[in-house]
Amino acid sequence: MIPPYSKPFKTIDRYIFMELFKVFLISVGSLTMVLYLDKFLFMAEMIVNRGITFLEMCRIMLYSAPAFLTLTIPMSVLVASLVAFNEFSAHNEWVAMKACNLSFLQAMRPVLLFSAIVYFIANMIMFYALPWGDLSYRKLLYDIIKNRAYVNLKSNVFNHDFKNLVILVEERKSHSKLVNVFIADATQSDSPKIITANEGNILPNPKSLKIQLELKNGTIHELSQEHRNYQTIKFEVYNLALSLPNTKRLEEEALVDNRGLSLGQLRDQILELKTKGLPTSGLKVEFSKKFSIPFTCLLFGLLGASLGVHSSRAGKSGSFAMCVFVIILYYVGLILTQNMGIIGVLEPYSSVWIPNIILLGITLYIAYKMQKELPFKLTEWTADRMATIYEFFKKIFTALVPQEPRPALQSRKYGRGQKILSKPSIKLRRKK
């Protein structure tokens, strides 16, 4: 006789998979929008001060998405698994599954499939989408800075937009070529300079994300600090860095970060620093994180299912508190071991895998308890405590935030002051 659960993928598997998928989509969207709040403020500033278009705003959101998804996707796997199995247990669906001779490991088949699919997606985002988004994002911000410099320089107008510089251009032949340039440089207040040049060129540098003004055939008039000596210096080529106004946030956003480098770029930089005798622990940690963070999708899927079943008595508040507790505990451990790997206390490649190894041991232990149906009081106690703490802070928030009083329900009347009665009440009165 064929066992009742021998089919490759049954209806119950599809049901569990779809429940996980629905909660996962909601969680990814919600958590990503929370991380976008800072970007929304940044984009509002860009619209007001830089006049960026709607298309550029959409591009900023698109290029920022991979960096956010690398964080929110593993979290969402945990949330989806924990919330889905919490609902199964709260509505006695888990009891019905066990009544159909469905063991815990058999119920984990759709969870493992779902976690594996998300793990593959997280790897694609980490290896390909993140470097592409980071590079495109920095190029877009650089173009905004460069265009700001082009727009502000107008012929025969004193320009005060650049920090510590006053620029006057007699003629502008093209987007970047200037004729008869006059510059008052007050970068060093003790020894101000006057720079004149027959020709100037605006030179963008995409690698350093800076803009330089190249002056040709000019003279520098400089006054000494004591204001007693005056000297002139003639030059053929003189490069002057332009510090744009109110672009500190832009330049910080456009800085190169190791997190946005691809595997090949990280490998090349590690080899280059090794040949120069420079420390490479930071790059090695970042290289290892490319593999360790997506791996948490597999662990969070199994762990969330186990915790969801055990925290059913605490309700939705208990499952939410448990998610927050696990996420905070994992990422605190990840940041701690990562920093220890960077400073050399731990081996760089293995440092970021320590939280995963600990999490793997906890997940296997809980899964064993669930399969054997052994009591696991620690999980229930932790879930109850998390729910109690959550309800405590909820009461404090409710007491601090004034609630609008709801209007009392008034009874409707008809005829000679009689109240409207329901049909059962009317029948009861007629019988009497």
Tens-place pLDDT, residues 133-153: 888 887 787 777 666 555 567
Same domain, 91 and 137: yes
Q: Confirm if 210 and 141 have CB atoms less than 8 A apart.
A: no
Same domain, 112 and 172: no
Same domain, 262 and 178: no
Mean pLDDT of the region 191-208: 78
Query: Is the confidence at residue 232, as pLDDT, over 80?
Result: yes
Mean pLDDT of the region 235-264: 66
Same domain, 36 and 173: no
Local confidence band at 210 (pLDDT 50, 70, 90 cut-offs): low
Same domain, 213 and 325: no
Report the DSSP beta bridge partners of residue 96: none
In angstroms, the CA 305 to CA 310 distance is: 9
Q: How far is CA 250 from CA 294, 334, 425, in A?
A: 30, 29, 70
Residue 124 lies in a domain: yes
Instruction: Report the greatest alpha carbon distance in the chain.
Output: 116
The number of beta carbons lying within 10 Å of the beta carbon of residue 338 is: 22
Same domain, 110 and 199: no
Residue 151 lies in a domain: no
Q: What integer pLDDT is reported at residue 429 of this predicted model?
A: 57
Mean pLDDT of the region 71-82: 91
Q: Confirm if 94 and 31 have CB atoms less than 8 A apart.
A: no
Alpha helices in 91-129, H assignment, sequence order: 93-99, 104-124
Residue 20 lies in a domain: yes
Same domain, 264 and 239: no
Q: Confirm if 236 and 216 have CB atoms less than 8 A apart.
A: yes
Residue with tokens 């002056």: 215
* 198 vs 228, higher pLDDT: 198
Q: How far is CA 416 from CA 14, 300, 409, 426, 430, in A?
A: 60, 66, 20, 16, 18
Map residue 246 onto helix, strand or coil. Answer: coil
Q: Confirm if 262 and 127 have CB atoms less than 8 A apart.
A: yes
Q: Confirm if 55 and 280 have CB atoms less than 8 A apart.
A: no
Q: Number of folded domains in the chain?
A: 2
pTM: 0.67
How confident is the prediction for the chain on average, in pLDDT? 78
Local confidence band at 119 (pLDDT 50, 70, 90 cut-offs): very high
Report the DSSP beta bridge partners of residue 414: 418
Local confidence band at 382 (pLDDT 50, 70, 90 cut-offs): low
- The one-letter amino acid code at 243 reads S
Same domain, 138 and 203: no
Residue 18 lies in a domain: yes
Q: What integer pLDDT is reported at residue 5 of this predicted model?
A: 47
Local confidence band at 368 (pLDDT 50, 70, 90 cut-offs): confident
* 57 vs 206, higher pLDDT: 57
* 256 vs 182, higher pLDDT: 182
Same domain, 218 and 275: no
In angstroms, the CA 253 to CA 143 distance is: 13
Mean pLDDT of the region 379-407: 68
In angstroms, the CA 78 to CA 326 distance is: 9
Same domain, 268 and 140: yes
In angstroms, the CA 70 to CA 161 distance is: 39
* 341 vs 314, higher pLDDT: 341
Q: What integer pLDDT is reported at residue 222 of this predicted model?
A: 83
Same domain, 205 and 265: no
Phi, psi at 99, each rounded to 5° = -65, -25
How does DSSP assign 44-83, residue by residue?
HHHHHHT---HHHHHHHHHHHHHHHHHHHHHHHHHHHHHH
- Which region among 59-68, 190-199, 226-235 has the lowest average model confidence (pLDDT)? 226-235
Question: Taking Cα atoms as reference points, which of 125, 131, 37, 33 lies closest to residue 74?
Answer: 125
Q: Confirm if 303 and 362 have CB atoms less than 8 A apart.
A: yes
Domain that holds residue 340: 11-144+258-398
Residue 221 lies in a domain: yes
Same domain, 134 and 275: yes
Q: What integer pLDDT is reported at residue 250 of this predicted model?
A: 53
Which residues have C-beta within 8 Å of that of residue 45, sequence separation ≥ 6?
A: 249
Local confidence band at 263 (pLDDT 50, 70, 90 cut-offs): confident
Q: What integer pLDDT is reported at residue 403 of this predicted model?
A: 60
Its sign, for the CA torsion 42, 45, 50, 56, is positive
Q: Which segment, 16-25, 128-137, 245-254, 364-373, is predicted with the most confidence on average?
A: 16-25
Q: What integer pLDDT is reported at residue 4 of this predicted model?
A: 47
Which residues have C-beta within 8 Å of that of residue 197, sequence separation ≥ 6?
A: 180, 181, 183, 215, 216, 217, 218, 219, 238
Local confidence band at 415 (pLDDT 50, 70, 90 cut-offs): low
Residue 431 lies in a domain: no
Residue with tokens 């063991």: 103
Residue range 10-65, pLDDT digits in tens: 788 888 899 999 999 999 999 999 888 877 877 777 777 666 778 888 888 898 89
